[in-house]
Structure 1
Amino acid sequence: MQEITPAELAALDDAFILDVREPHELEQARLEGATHIPLGELVARIDEVPRDTTVYTLCHVGGRSAQATVYLESLGVDAVNVSGGILEWYRQGLPITLGGAE
């Protein structure tokens, strides 16, 4: 499984970020422009995930996004897990939206 740090991901232009956290987690913090599909809905909503670009998966600390990455890879998607999740993104001082709705 491929991984990327939040800082490495933040340096990319136009990256497709798939946030697999639950809706209530987005109320605390989210990345603007990320696509949100909770992990439990990923199989049913797989058609919303692009096949022609790298998909960077994100969750709170990296566990659920790792599961999503493995699943996407099994379907032939170029998927990369964001190590440390949104918590590490926040710790590194990268841009984040706190509170509010999606």
Structure 2
Amino acid sequence: MSEFENVSIDSIGENTTVLDVREDYEWAAGHIEGAMHIPVEQIPDRLDELDPDTDLHVICRTGGRSHRVAQWLVANGYSAVNVTGGMGAWLEASRPMVSDTDQPPTVL
């Protein structure tokens, strides 16, 4: 098993590549503007959409799914870190989000 890093939401800056691995309904409710969205179960089939040379900050709701995805990506030659606390921590820190619904962005 390859080693990988856990980072806080503070590591996410304007030019950070964020990979959100939550389900479609979670993404629609609220996400980081500019983030990529590939649900966990689609990662293996959509791997060609990710650049192995780009540092990916993988995020989910609380950090469990993103931990597994970051671990898997690193083991497969990608540069990835897990964002601990996930979108829950992002929301608690009052960081900006957008939604794909007519409701204010939130984390489900």
- TM beyond 0.5: yes
Question: Could you say which structure has the higher strand fraction?
Answer: 1
SS in 1 for 2:52: coil
**1:27 Cα deviation (Å)?**
2.1
CA RMSD in angstroms comes to 1.4
2:43 is the counterpart of 1:46:
no
- How far residue 8 of structure 1 moved from its aligned partner, in angstroms, is 2.2
Sequence identity of aligned pairs in percent? 32
Unaligned runs of 5+ in 2: 103-108
Alignment partner of 1:45: what SS? helix
Distance 1:8 1:94 in 2: 13
- Structure 1: gaps spanning 5 or more residues: none
Matched, 1:27 2:28: yes
TM-score normalised per structure 2:
0.85
- SS state of the match for residue 18, structure 2? strand
Q: CA deviation at 1:98?
A: 4.2
TM-score, with structure 1 as normaliser: 0.90
Contact 1:7 1:89 in 2 (8 A): no
**What is the distance in 2 between the residues matched to 1:97 and 1:88?**
16
- Number of matched pairs: 99
Structure of larger gyration radius: 2
